[in-house]
């Protein structure tokens, strides 16, 4: 009887200690494209890997990551989707940042709610999803080798 009670106690203790594992964020968004009437929808990107960079127009590290985004966007045009998703809700501020930094990558805006749903806590926060839109890799912050890393990871998904 003691063994049974002890086993039951251990099972209940283990169950209480277990935490639900966080689920990987789903790539689900409909965001306006800066400088256009277009709405970018993840549903329209089926069958393509997606690299999405969440950022703010005020973030210096985000601005430093723009050349890496542009290089990935150019190198994988037609094979993968690369977008910059600004949390700013002011389209003019986004357009100013795009122009000032000569950003070639498609710029989305008003992405605060989407970024929160996806667990973004700091900027830049860059997420790579495979062709079935499953999360593959996350970059938090800026690094001088982002361009190389983006191209390396995208190559794995597009070959």
- Digit-by-digit pLDDT tens for the chain (159 residues) are 666 544 544 454 445 544 433 456 778 899 999 999 999 999 999 899 999 999 999 999 999 999 999 999 999 999 999 999 999 999 999 999 999 999 999 999 999 999 999 999 899 999 999 999 999 999 999 999 999 999 999 999 997
Domain that holds residue 108: 48-158
CB 54 within 8 A of CB 125: yes
Q: Is residue 37 part of a domain?
A: no
CATH code of the domain containing 153: 3.40.30.10
| Count of domains forming the chain | 1
Q: Scanning the structure block, which residue is given the tokens 């960079």?
A: 53
Q: Is residue 3 part of a domain?
A: no
Distance CA 128, CA 83 (A): 11
Q: Is residue 1 part of a domain?
A: no
CB 95 within 8 A of CB 114: no
Q: Is residue 13 part of a domain?
A: no
Q: What is the dihedral of CA 60, 77, 37, 113, to 10 degrees?
A: -50
Q: Is residue 39 part of a domain?
A: no
Q: Is residue 71 part of a domain?
A: yes
Q: Is residue 18 part of a domain?
A: no
Q: Is residue 67 part of a domain?
A: yes
């Amino acid at each position: 009887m003691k063994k049974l009670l002890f086993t039951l106690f251990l099972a209940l203790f283990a169950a209480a200690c277990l935490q639900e594992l966080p689920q990987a964020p789903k790539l689900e968004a409909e965001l306006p494209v800066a400088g256009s009437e277009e709405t970018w929808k993840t549903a329209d990107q089926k069958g393509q890997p997606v690299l999405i960079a969440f950022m703010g127009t005020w973030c210096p590290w985000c601005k430093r990551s723009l050349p890496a985004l542009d290089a990935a966007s150019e190198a994988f045009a037609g094979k993968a989707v690369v977008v910059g998703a600004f949390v700013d809700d002011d389209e003019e501020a986004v357009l100013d940042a795009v122009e000032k930094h000569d950003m070639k990558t498609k710029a989305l805006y008003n992405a605060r709610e989407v970024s929160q749903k996806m667990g973004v806590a700091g900027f830049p926060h860059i997420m790579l999803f495979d062709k079935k839109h499953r999360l593959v890799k996350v970059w938090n912050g800026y690094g001088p080798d982002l361009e190389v890393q983006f191209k390396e990871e995208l190559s794995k998904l597009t070959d």
